[in-house]
């Protein structure tokens, strides 16, 4: 089963629909979609390393544009924004987000934007807190671009060697991935 899914992801990564699909996933993840764009970005880079930085640019641009939608959801649709955040385990209320961003706003965006923590949490919370939109945009470009271009550089440089190891031990890496995902979800719930 893992092999079929692995092969499907790589087939999509090599298809003519890969770049538009990456843009859609990157846009949606920043505002409402639960799956991070790395799930598509990494196989696409491994499938075509010569296009690594192009894919990172597409991912960054779409993610930042999706972040604008997330910000707008929080800013203009407070009830919807609070509902989405409560689904993600952050039903602390509007005042909590406002104080959080008043104290740490820029750092929240910069740090959380680099991590696998869902970026929609940052974008919607930024809008809920009415955080400075120009600062939000600048931080989004820096943090999302930093993350995706760093991934592109690592995978372009070390990807082919890593790919051979992953393909050889797919089950082991899948188990490690599930453990990391569970740990990430637990960390997000605790934050």
What does the pLDDT look like over 79-108, one tens digit per residue? Answer: 887 777 777 666 666 666 677 777 776 777
Residue 86 has a pLDDT of 74
Q: Is the pLDDT of residue 182 over 80?
A: no
Please name the residue that has the structure tokens 């991935």. Answer: 177
Half-sphere exposure of 152 (CA within 13 A, CB side): 22
- More confident position, 119 or 56: 56
Q: With respect to residue 11, please indicate whether it lies within any of the assigned structural domains.
A: no
Percent of the chain with pLDDT over 90: 23
Q: With respect to residue 169, please indicate whether it lies within any of the assigned structural domains.
A: yes
Q: With respect to residue 20, please indicate whether it lies within any of the assigned structural domains.
A: no
Q: Is the pLDDT of residue 128 over 60?
A: yes
Q: With respect to residue 9, please indicate whether it lies within any of the assigned structural domains.
A: no
Q: Determine contact, residues 125/139, Cβ cutoff 8 Å.
A: no
**Cα gap 162→180, rounded to integer Å:** 18
Segments forming the whole domain that contains residue 173: 38-190
**Cα gap 19→103, rounded to integer Å:** 38
Residue 141 has a pLDDT of 93
Half-sphere exposure of 11 (CA within 13 A, CB side): 6
Q: 189: pLDDT confidence band, cut at 50, 70 and 90?
A: low
Q: With respect to residue 78, please indicate whether it lies within any of the assigned structural domains.
A: yes
Count of domains observed in the chain: 1
């Amino acid at each position: 089963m893992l092999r079929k899914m692995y092969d499907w992801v790589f087939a999509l990564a090599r298809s003519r629909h890969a770049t538009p699909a990456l843009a859609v996933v990157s846009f949606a993840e920043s505002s409402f979609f639960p799956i991070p764009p790395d799930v598509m970005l990494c196989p696409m880079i491994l499938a075509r390393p010569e296009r690594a930085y192009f894919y990172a640019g597409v991912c960054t641009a779409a993610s930042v544009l999706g972040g604008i939608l997330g910000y707008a959801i929080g800013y203009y649709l407070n009830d919807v924004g609070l509902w989405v955040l409560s689904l993600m385990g952050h039903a602390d209320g509007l005042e909590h987000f406002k104080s959080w961003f008043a104290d740490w706003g820029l750092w929240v965006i910069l740090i959380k934007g680099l991590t696998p923590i869902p970026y929609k949490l940052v974008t919607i919370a930024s809008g809920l807190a009415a955080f400075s939109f120009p600062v939000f945009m600048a931080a989004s470009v820096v943090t999302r671009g930093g993350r995706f271009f760093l991934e592109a550089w690592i995978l372009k440089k070390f990807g082919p060697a890593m790919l051979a190891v992953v393909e050889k031990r797919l089950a082991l890496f899948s188990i490690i991935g599930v453990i990391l995902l569970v740990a990430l979800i637990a960390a997000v719930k605790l934050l």
